[in-house]
Amino acid sequence: MASPVSYRLEGIIGIITVDSPPVNALSHAVREGIFDAISEAQGDSSEAIVISCDGRTFFAGADITEFDKPLKDPGLPDLVKAIEASSKPVVAAMHGTALGGGFEMALAAHYRCAMPFAKVGLPEVKLGLLPGAGGTQRTTRLAGVKASLDLITSGVPIVAAKAKSLGLIDKIIDGNLLSGAIAWAGQLVADQAPIRRSSEQAVPEYDAAIFEEYRTSLRRRARGQIAPGRIVAAVEAAATMSFTDGLAIEKQAFLDCMASPESAGMRHIFFAEREASKVDDLPRDIVQRPIETVGIIGGGTMGGGIAMSFANAGIQVTMIEISDEALVRGLSIIDRNYAGSVKRGKLSEKQVASYRALISGSTDYAALADVDMVVEAVFENPDLKKKIFKQLDDVCKPGAILATNTSYQDVDAIAAVTSRPEDVVGMHFFSPAHIMKLLEVVRGEKTADDVLASVMAVAKKIRKVAVVSGVCYGFIGNRMLQPYGKTSQMLLLEGATPQQIDSAMESWGMAMGPLRVFDLAGLDIDYTARQALTDEQKGDPMFYRVPDLLVEAGRMGQKSGAGFYTYEGNRKATSDPVVNKMIEKVAAELGVERREISDGEIVERLISSLVDEGRKILDEGIAQRSSDIDIVYIYGYGFPAARGGPMFYADNAVG
Catalytically annotated residues: 104, 124
Neighbour tally for 14: CB within 10 Å:
26
Question: Measuring CA to CA, which residue among 437, 394, 440 is closest to residue 425?
Answer: 440
Instruction: For residues 127 and 197, give the distance between their C-alpha atoms in angstroms, rounded to a whole number.
Output: 28
Q: Any idea what DSSP says for residue 194?
A: -
Whether the Cβ atoms of residue 256 and residue 263 lie closer than 8 Å to each other: no
Q: Using CB atoms within 10 Å of the CB of residue 363, give its burial: 0 to 12 exposed, 13 to 18 middle, 19+ buried.
A: middle
Contact assessment for residue 12 and residue 48, using Cβ atoms and an 8 Å cutoff = yes
Per-residue buried b or exposed e for 447-479, using 16+ beta carbons within 10 Å of the residue's own CB: bbebbbbbbbebbeebebbbbbbbbbebbbbbb
74 cis-preceded (ω within 30 degrees of 0): yes
Instruction: Give the span between the Cα atoms of 495 and 587, in whole angstroms.
Output: 9
Per-residue 3-state assignment (H helix, E strand, C coil) for 458-496? HHHHCCCEEEEECCCCCCCHHHHHHHHHHHHHHHHHHCC
Run of H or E residues at 646: helix 646-652
Q: For the purposes of burial, counting CB atoms within 10 Å of the CB of 281, is it exposed (0-12), middle (13-18) or buried (19 or more)? A: exposed
Sheet holding 373-376, edge to edge: 359-362, 316-320, 293-297, 373-376, 401-404, 424-429, 438-442, 465-469
Report whether 436 contacts 428 (CB < 8 A): no
Collapsing DSSP to helix, strand or coil, 155 comes out as: coil
| Distance (Å, whole) CA 643 – CA 509 | 8
Give the C-alpha distances (Å, rounded to integers) separating 492 from 104, 384, 472. 51, 36, 28
Strand order in the sheet with 158-159: 97-99, 119-121, 158-159
Which residues have CB under 8 Å from 403's CB, separation 6+? 373, 374, 375, 376, 424, 425, 426, 427, 455
Beta bridge partners of 425: 403
Cα–Cα–Cα angle for 281, 284, 285, nearest 5°?
Answer: 130
* 101: nearest Cα among 90, 92, 91: 92
SS (H, E, C) 594-621: CCCCCHHHHHHHHHHHHHHHHHHHHHCC
Quickly count: other Cβ atoms within 10 Å of residue 232's Cβ.
Answer: 26
CB count in 10 Å sphere of residue 264: 19
User: What are the phi and psi torsion angles at 427 (to 5°)?
Assistant: -130, 95
Contact assessment for residue 168 and residue 286, using Cβ atoms and an 8 Å cutoff: no
Any idea what the Cα angle at residue 241 is, between residues 237 and 242, rounded to 5°? 125
Closest among 552, 528, 563 to 379, alpha carbons compared: 528
